[in-house]
Amino acid sequence: MRLADLTTLGVGGAPDVLRTCVATNELIERVRKLDDARENVLILGGGSNIVMGDEPFRGTVLQVATRGIEIKAGESTVRLTIAAGEPWDELVELCVVNGWSGIEALSGIPGLVGATPIQNVGAYGQEISQVIESVRVLDRTTGSIEVFDNAECMFEYRSSIFKREPNRRLIVAVDISLRIDSQCIVRYADLAAYLGIEVGGSATPVEVRSAVLALRAAKGMVVDIHDEDSRSAGSFFMNPIVSEEIASGIPATCPRYPAAAGVKLSAAWLIEDAGVTKGWRLTEDAHARVSKKHTLAIVTTSGATTAEVIELADHIQQLVFTKHAITLEPEPTLVNCALAGLS
């Protein structure tokens, strides 16, 4: 089986070996044995935030399919321990239905629970780091099981210690704490506008989830076999965080938000200002193009290769740098492939 069949972008060569792990202990032991044998290992979750190279993957791909949720409810909060292989959006739906608030704005995000701390997944004013109590991992350098509390995860915008030290740790379970609350505060302007409320106003988790799913679907950001624009790895580029000095040189029409290390700019605005339009492709017969719904996503059609995806991403990155002297960084993990770099 080609990895193209296991990723939402739909590109990638075949692995030497593919194994699916349905139990946490099985996953841990397989990784330990492969690491002890110094074999090349790729841990694959939902395949929604990864770009695989066209060449065969020389090694073993372990597909995470572990399941299990433990629930401990208190008077005002509920704590959930979730296996890494649980589908993320199924978890969000479970929580919303039960009136547990804190991740409803993260509805519709594809992939598995275990991947969410790595990228510090976030959308529409919420981030997974806001609700994580701890993350249970296998340290692949020592073979031991460790527990990282929230602070030890070193969360930043779309980053964490797990992303900054790739392949060192395997996430096997995540603990989150949610509020038992019929209302949640809406802090994201587009979401508030869709709901017809002011930023800082409240809505029910059910209302927020419904609105977010609609907003994401309009951008092709909900995986749907009937939507050609959902054949992507999600947002291909991260919103750049720049200094206030650099941000002051960008036109005021560019959306911007305060960030811990400066100012976060809209990557979509920068891309469009550099001349890239929805549906844009390098050549008429190219099998990779910009989404027709959202300029942050690169989508593929039947017959696409990773090389085409990378070539398009390189071109977009160069256009933005030439126009604004800002380097857009890819959001998905790139395996057996890489951007060419700026010239």
pLDDT digits (tens, 9 = 90+) for 72-91: 999 999 999 999 999 999 99
Q: Report angle CA 112, 255, 333 to the nearest 5 degrees.
A: 30
pLDDT digits (tens, 9 = 90+) for 234-276: 999 999 999 999 999 999 999 999 988 899 999 999 999 999 9
Give catalytic residues, as residue numbers.
158, 235, 331
**119 residue type, one letter:** Q
Please provide the average confidence, as pLDDT, over all residues in the chain: 97
Domains of the chain: 3-64 (3.30.43.10), 69-218 (3.30.465.10), 228-335 (3.90.78.10)
Side-chain-side CA neighbours of 27 within 13 Å: the count stands at 29
Helix axis angle for 88-97 and 205-218, nearest 10°, is 150
Report the candidate in 339, 303, 329, 275 with the shortest Cα–Cα distance to residue 290.
Answer: 275
**Nearest CA to 185 among 133, 124, 131?**
124
User: Which residue ranges of the chain lie beneath pLDDT 70?
Assistant: 343
CA distance 176 to 91: 11
pLDDT at 260: 83
Predicted pLDDT of residue 341 = 86
Record the pTM: 0.91
What local confidence, expressed as pLDDT, does residue 261 receive?
86
Q: Interior CA angle at 160 toward 338 and 263, to 5°?
A: 85
